Amino acid sequence: MNNLLLLIFLLCVLAACKKRNSDDVGPQVTWNSPAENALIYSVDTIVVNALITDDEVVRRVKVSLTNAAGSSLANMGDEFPGTPSYQLNKAFYINRPDLQGGQQYYLNLIAYDDDNHTSIYRKINLVPLPLVEKAVVVAYGAGNNRTVALLENGALNPILSGAGDVQRVLPNHIEGNVKVVSGVSGKIRALNHPEFGQEWEHDIPNNTSWRSIESVSMNPNNGELLVGDTDHFFQILNKSGSVIAGFDTELLLHRPVKCLLTDNRAFAIERRIDNSNQDFTVFFKVSGAVEFRIGMQGDVVEMFADVSSENITEPDQTVIFVNENGQPRIRKYSILGQNLTQIGTLPQGEITAVCKLANRRYLFQIDGTVYRFNFAGPLQVYYNGPDFHRLVHDPLGNRVFGLTQSHIHVFNLLGNGMQEIGTIPVNNPRDICVLYNRNP
C-alpha cells in the first residue's frame, strides 16, 4: 500500500513539473513575402516565404487565403517540420476566379508548437483575373442528330457529332467546361477545354422518348445544374455531375418547361400537359419544399436572376419575359414580397429572344425589333431585322450573337444600337455560348 501511494505521489510531481515546464509562447514568425498589400490575381501562383522558429519544436505550419471575416477561401498544403527552425518557401496556388476585387483579403499564416500557436496576417490586394475568351461553342443540326462545334475564324470545327437533340450548351467558366444538354435522350455531357473530350456524363433515371429533360439551368457561381424531367421531378447536380439533391414538384400532369437555379432557390414554370394552365413555383433548393406558387398565363421565353436595386449584389428577384395572349410582358418576382408584378408596357407583338447584358439591363426582340431595357426610362430600339430564336451576349468582345434557322448573326454592341459585323451560314443553329477563363 505504501509503495502504491509513493508511486502516485511521484506521478503527481512529474505531472506538475511537466506543467511548469510546458511552453506558453508560440513560435516566432518572420514574414518575408509576399509583401503587405501585394497585388495578387484571383487565379495566381505566389511564393510564401517566412522563417518560423521555436525554443523547442515547430510542429505545423498552415497558410490560407481569408476574407475580412476570417473565413478560409483557399489553403496551401500544411507543413510539418518537427524542427526548432523552419524556413518556409513554398508555392501557393490560388484558384478562386469567382472572387472579386474591392474587398479585403488576407494571407494568414499559423505556426504551431506542442502547446501553442502564433497567427499572423498580411493584407493583399486581390484583383480579378483578366477576362480571356477560351472558345465559342455552337450546337446545330436537325432532329436527334445535332452536332457541337467550335466556332473559329468564322468556321465550324465539330467536337461532338451525333449528340442527340441538343437543346442547350452551357459554359462553366470556373471549371473550364461546356455542358451539352440533350432533351429526348435525357443526357448531359461535360466537355472539358481545351481538347473538349468528355469529362463526365449524366443520364436522368429511366430516360426514354417519353421521359426527357424538359428544362435545365446552371448557377454560374458554383456550376450546379438544375434538371427538370417529364415526370415533374428535379435533380440538382454538382459541378462534377453527381446528384446532390432531388425533389418531386408534386404537380401531377405538369412539366417543368422552364427553370432557374440560384444559390438558395429553384424556380420553375410548370405547365399542364394539355396546356390548360401553368404555375410559377419557387422551391427551397436544399429541401425542395414549395415556398411560393401562383398561376401564370402565357408562354415564358426566359427567366433571369436579378436585383431590385443598383446597390444590391445578391439576386433578390426573378425577371420573367412572357408572351401572354398576344401581349408581351415583363414580370418580376420579389423574394421579399413574394408576389408577381409587371414592369413597364411593351409594344404589341411576340417576344422571340432575350439576353441579359447586366443586372437590370436586357436586350429582347419583338417582331424583328431588338429593344434595350434598363428598368427605367423608355425602350431603346437597337436593331431591326430577322427574327432570332436566341440572343447571346459576349461581354468581353462586346458582341451579341443572334440565331435564326439558317445563320448566326454577329453584332458589335454600341452605345445606341447593334452593328452587324458578319453572318455565318449554319444548318439550324440551336444554341451558342462563349467560354471564358472566369465568370464575366
| pLDDT one-digit tens code per residue, 57-77 | 999 999 999 998 888 888 988
Residue 168 lies in a domain: yes
User: Helix (H, G, I), strand (E, B), or coil: what is residue 3?
Assistant: helix
pLDDT at residue 3 in the model: 54
In the predicted model, is pLDDT for residue 102 greater than 90?
A: no
Do you know the residue count of the chain?
A: 440
Q: Are residues 203 and 58 in the same domain?
A: no
Distance CA 171, CA 396 (A): 14
Question: What is the mean pLDDT of the segment spanning 66-94?
Answer: 91
Q: Higher-confidence residue: 44 or 256?
A: 256
Q: Residue 199 domain-assigned?
A: yes
CB atoms within 10 A of CB 339: 10
User: At which of 109, 127, 145 does a domain end?
Assistant: 127
Domain boundary among 85, 112, 127: 127
- Residue 304 is predicted with a pLDDT of 97
Question: What's the grid cell of residue 82?
Answer: 518537427
Q: Answer yes or no: do 75 and 167 share one domain.
A: no
74 or 243: whose pLDDT is higher?
243
CA-to-CA dists, residue 79 to 18, 54, 188, angstroms: 27, 15, 40
- Is residue 48 within 8 A of residue 61, CB to CB? The reply is no
Q: How many domains does the chain have?
A: 2
**Cβ partners under 8 Å of residue 164, min gap 6:** 144, 145, 146, 182, 183, 184, 185, 187
The answer to the question of residue 6 being in a domain is no
pLDDT single digits (tens) 306-327: 988 877 877 889 999 999 988 9
Asked if pLDDT for residue 31 goes beyond 70, the answer is: yes
Range of the domain at 30: 24-127
The span from the CA of 191 to the CA of 61, in Å, is: 38
- Cα separation of 360 and 205, whole Å? 37
Quick: pLDDT tens for 276-294.
999 999 999 989 999 999 9
The answer, yes or no, to whether residue 13 has pLDDT greater than 50, is no
CATH of the domain at 36: 2.60.40.10
* Residues 110, 108: Cα–Cα separation, whole Å: 7
Domain-ending residue, one of 127, 145, 175: 127
The residues, any chain, with a CB within 8 Å of residue 429's CB and separated by 6 or more, are 138, 139, 140, 390, 403, 404, 407, 408
Quick one: 292 and 203 in the same domain?
A: yes
CATH classification at residue 337:
2.130.10.10
For residues 274 and 392, membership in a common domain is answered with: yes
Is the pLDDT at 413 greater than 60? The verdict is: yes
